[in-house]
Structure 1
Amino acid sequence: MCQLQRRKLSLLFCLGLSAIVYSVIYLWIKTPTEPKLLDSPRCRTFATECKAFLPGIEEDVEWHRQDCQVESFILNNQLQCSNLTKDLHFITRPLSREEEDYPLAFIVTIHKELELFVRLLRGIYMPQNVYCIHVDAKAPMAYQAAVRRLVSCFKNVFVSSRSESVTYSGFSRLQADVNCMKDLAGSSIGWRKVVNLCGQDFPLMSNLELVQYMKSKEWRDRNMTPGVKQPLHMRYRTKFQYRQVVGSHVAFKGWGIKKSPPPHKLQVYFGTAYYALTRAFVDFVLKSSIAHDLLEWSKDTYSPDEHYWVTLNHIQDAPGSYIDGEWEGNIRAIKWREQGTAHDGCKGHYVRDICIFAVGDLPWIINKNSMFANKFESDTYPEALDCLEQWHRNKVLDQATVPIKPSWLLATRKNSSSSAFNSTAGA
């Protein structure tokens, strides 16, 4: 009898314990997991050198960043578009009538550094503009999915309909821009000029300053493609045939195999891969037999994006052409290793002879007053991007002619002798 009683008690104990365990599991499954948003206490503080570029230094003001986990926010599968613009501090309305009346188009080619891309997009984003994002076809699928998830939250941002596997200095880099141009040509947004960027750029001019620069007497009806007649030491790029080793590099197609002369007896020019082009010129690129033939001829050249745009822009009949133009146009602030006497040296480090900027490079960058600066890495020198981004956002909001929304602020100001935060745009 006692043995039977003990068995009953053991059975009841096991049933009770099982009920508790199942209840805990049920509640754990049913409880919704909230997206991990921005965690202010984990924000990096601004570098000491940054204080010179932020207003309020004479008032003993400290700046406290509000935006710290951009990448983890985008990677979160539960990202809600309704919260994205607010939580990531995107500007959600035109800041002036002048900007609203002069929409711009942007082509952004990316393959890595998700956080840097999001911060770049945030820096150039305005709701009246349009943005084509070309994601390298060989980028990790998780990266591509994250970009598409972000882009899907904006009506005026889209991923290029055709993706290239981009090879450094190869034709695929030029083709990526052309792909986006085809998409932008069909856009219902009446953009006036298109600017191309890579994922490691960051703006120096505000959108208003870009508009005013494009509308200036010098550039109002012109394309901006800095460059000169192809120098002798650069003729190897178009004299011989090259092939792309996909995802790796560009190599000679065969030893000493020469190319035919350029089509239509065109004079080849050499310049930057970056530009600001009129919409009429883009139509010319897409429809002209001259542009098409030059594009085909360029397929087996070395770094064709550095001769294609500038060559077409020196054709008399091309819309907005600048046949007497040379290196005019403040397209990029870049520190090239070979141009050491033109700058104060790279405070970060060089990659392919281009400086990856550190905080110490910011005075030179800002004083250049270019449209954009290149290059940044969010992992290597994050403080440089933190500082420049805050400096740029301050300027953008200072120039606004509309009320500033608190969500547009990237940082708040606090007087070191007071606990009160300043919630204005702050300049």
Structure 2
Amino acid sequence: MPLRNICITYAVLQLFSVVTFFSFYGNRENYYHISSQIRGNSPDEAFKWLKREDGLQNQKFRDPLAKLCLHDDLRDQMCPILFMGNNDIANGIDRKHTNLSYQCRISELIKDCSKLIRAHEYHAKPVSQAERDFPLAFAIKMHRDPEQAEQLLRAIYRPHNVYCIYVDGKSSTIIHDIMRKIARCFSNIFVIEERLKVIYGSYAHMQSDLQCMRVLMKSGQKWKYYINLTGQEFPLKTNLEIVEILKSMNGANDIESYTIPIFLKWRHEKHFYTSSINIVETSDKKQPFRFNMEISKGSAYGAYSRKFVDFILTDGFANEFINWLNDTYSPEESVWATLNTLPWAPGGYEYEIRHRYGNFLSRATIWEDDKSRCHGLYVRGVCTFGIGDLPWLINRPNLFANKFNVHMDRVVMDCLEDLNRNRTNNPDIYSLNWFYYRNLPHAKLYAERDVSKYYSDKNMMLLKEEWMKKQTRGDGTKSSRRSKSDDRFSLPGSSMNMYTVRA
């Protein structure tokens, strides 16, 4: 290279260095201010500072339509204070309604896909390579309030994930049509057309999940986990955080599962049928399942590995058990919880995972007999969250919270959505409670397991054959549940009992 070119290159580099230095020097107070405000702060304090006009979360970079439909100056000022537990400012605020302009209503936005996508920032969220390498599948079962379900959908939406929406057959065609019009704007959202009437306690709850599982398995996306939700839930973690947490599970399912209490065994002792309005118990005694296995109970919702979903849909034994459950009461509370305990079920385990012990990762819920106090309203024994629950919610390690009602308190969801957006745009500011995640019983089990070898087709066949041989010999298959009676501790920031972490 000629000496002249070398000199020019050197001069340009020196000039760039000088400009960079004076740029930093001139704005040194801002840089120091940002660093000092963020470093060492709690999540709610960092969030409060970032929402200021000079914070990283700068509203001027948002699409004008998004600013009109989602941005609310009052919410910006109010949410950080509510996160810290000061509810006095909310006394004069209408929590049930929003002052949306006409063009921001969902009924108007669905008329133009580009407006819907821009207004609700479907494509505005940053997506990391880690997220693209770990796609997720979501199912949303809903029966009311399409605006609330859409708020959940936009919070969890990423272009590389896949989504199934199941609208209860009892719901109006208007609700179904709204969700169909939303889905037509995206190639990765599917709305079930053949809908069942989901009667409380009937087999339709279980069948609706199976329908979504089949659709999502055929979507063409090689997703890693299936997460089923209701339209009244909301995420407590960003998509990236959910990915990081589920990756740490190393293929383990997160399914609530424990021995069914004696007082609930009636659910499987009689035949039930579904009428047009409810489920009816008959006097006909139901024959036990032909295999001597222990039926478990748990939540109908969780996080299921792809291999486990494939097992549910293709394994002959699993399908036989599902068919046997069809005429029982609330089969959705037994089907996943029981199948998860089988030795050849991918991602399965015999640990007793349950809300009461604080080791059910998927959901943050407050039941009426929990120690945690509900600041909203109990409906059928479950807390419908209000703004007073925000400090509790933002400190939970769980992935999602259940449940919310936009007609009772929409502010609580709006604040969580705002926090979720801030965490998505500034992922380095917030840290996860890895002590909790890595010490979950099922996470610890799978951290020590070579999943590729353990769940090879050959080993799965051997485990199944061994289980079947025990059945033939009449040995029985009672699960060796881990005792929890004196094995708990309190999670910091919570009143919920937890399992003891062993060294």
* TM-score, normalising length: structure 2: 0.65
Structure 1 residues 317, 154: CA separation in 2 closer, same or farther (over 3 Å shift)? same
Alpha-carbon distance change, 44 to 168 in structure 1, aligned in 2, over 3 angstroms: farther
With 175-184 and 390-399 compared, the bigger mean Cα shift is at: 390-399
1:353 pairs with 2:381: yes
Partner of 1:157: 189
Alignment partners' CA distance in 2, 1:111 and 1:128: 26
1:326 is matched by which residue type in structure 2? I
Amino acid at match of 2:383: C
| Residue of structure 2 aligned with 1:323, choices 350, 355, 364 | 350
**Residue 312 of structure 2 aligns with which residue?**
285
Aligned residue among 384, 389, 392 for 2:417: 389
Structure 1 position 262, deviation (Å): 2.1
2:164 — aligned with what?
A: 132
Q: 2:241, 2:395 → 1: CA distance? A: 15
Distance 1:38 1:258, change over 3 A: farther
Choose between structure 1 and 2 for higher RCO, CA contacts under 8 A separated by at least 6 residues: 1
Q: 1:258 to 1:129 in 2, by over 3 A?
A: same
Which of these residues, 132, 141, 144, is aligned with residue 173 of structure 2? 141
The question of whether the paired residues in 2 share the 8 Å contact of 1:223 and 1:320 is answered with yes
User: Cα deviations across residues 153-196 of structure 1 (Å, max 9, x unaligned)?
Assistant: 01111112532211122110110000011111111111011000
Same amino acid, percent of matched pairs: 34
What is the match of residue 338 of structure 2? 311
Aligned to 2:81: 52
Deviations 1:345-382 (CA, angstroms, capped at 9, x unpaired)? 22111111111111001111222221100111111111
Shift in Å, 1:198: 0.3
Cα shift at 1:335: 1.0
Q: Counterpart of 2:278?
A: 249
Task: Note the alpha carbon deviations across 1:40-83, whole angstroms, 9 max, x for none.
Answer: 6996933976323679x9xxxxxxxx994699633128721122
CA distance 1:279–1:37, change in 2 (3 Å): closer
Query: Aligned to 2:214, which of 182, 190, 194?
Result: 182
2:257 equivalent to 1:227? yes
Tell whether 2:269 aligns with 1:239: yes
Distance 1:40 1:73, change over 3 A: closer
Specify the SS of the correspondent of 2:300: coil
Instruction: Measure the CA separation in 2 of the matches of 1:275 and 1:291.
Output: 18
The change in CA–CA distance for 1:202 and 1:46 in structure 2 (over 3 A counts) is same
Distance 2:336 2:103 in 1: 34
SS of structure 2 residue aligned to 1:145: helix
1:417 aligns to what?
A: none
Extract unaligned runs of 5+ from structure 2. 1-64, 87-97, 430-503
Whether 1:368 and 2:396 are equivalent positions in the alignment is yes
Q: Give the AA of the match of 1:226.
A: E
Supply the RMSD in Å over aligned alpha carbons. 2.8
- Gapped runs of 5+ residues in structure 1? 1-35, 58-65, 402-427
Distance change (3 Å), C-alpha of 1:171 and 1:334: same
1:60-209 aligned at under 5 Å gives the runs 68=100, 73-76=105-108, 79-92=111-124, 95-209=127-241
Give the partner amino acid of 1:106: F
Q: 1:41 & 1:234 partners in 2: Cα distance?
A: 45
Distance (Å, rounded) in 2 between the aligned partners of 1:262 and 1:71: 56
- Count of residue correspondences: 349
Question: What TM-score, normalized to structure 1?
Answer: 0.76
Aligned-pair CA distance for 1:276: 1.0
Q: Aligned letter for 2:267?
A: R
Letter in 2 for 1:323: E
The more displaced of 351-360 and 69-78 is: 69-78
Cα contact 2:109–2:115 (8 A) shared by 1: no
Structure 1 residues 71, 169: CA separation in 2 closer, same or farther (over 3 Å shift)?
Answer: farther
Q: Which moved more, 1:346-355 or 1:112-121?
A: 346-355
Kindly tell me: are residues 47 and 293 of structure 1, through their superposed partners in 2, closer, same or farther at Cα, counting changes over 3 Å?
A: same
In structure 1, the residue matched to 2:287 is 260
Given that 1:43 and 1:68 are in contact with CA atoms closer than 8 Å, whether structure 2 keeps it comes out as no
Which amino acid in 2 is paired with 1:46?
R
CA contact (8 A) 1:92 1:127 kept: no
Q: Is the 8 A contact 2:340 2:347 kept in 1?
A: yes
Shift of 1:398: 1.2
Stretches of 4+ aligned residues off by more than 4 angstroms: 36-44, 69-72
8 Å CA contact 1:38–1:67 kept in 2: the answer is: no
CA separation of 1:262 and 1:366: change in aligned 2, threshold 3 A: farther
How many Å separate the matches in 2 of 1:37 and 1:127?
Answer: 18
1:334 to 365, 377, 382: 365
For residues 325 and 402 of structure 2, what CA distance do their matches in structure 1 show? 25
Q: How far apart are the structure 1 equivalents of 2:313 and 2:209?
A: 11
Q: Give the drift of 1:326.
A: 2.5
- Supply the distance in 1 between the matched residues of 2:144 and 2:234 (Cα, whole angstroms): 15
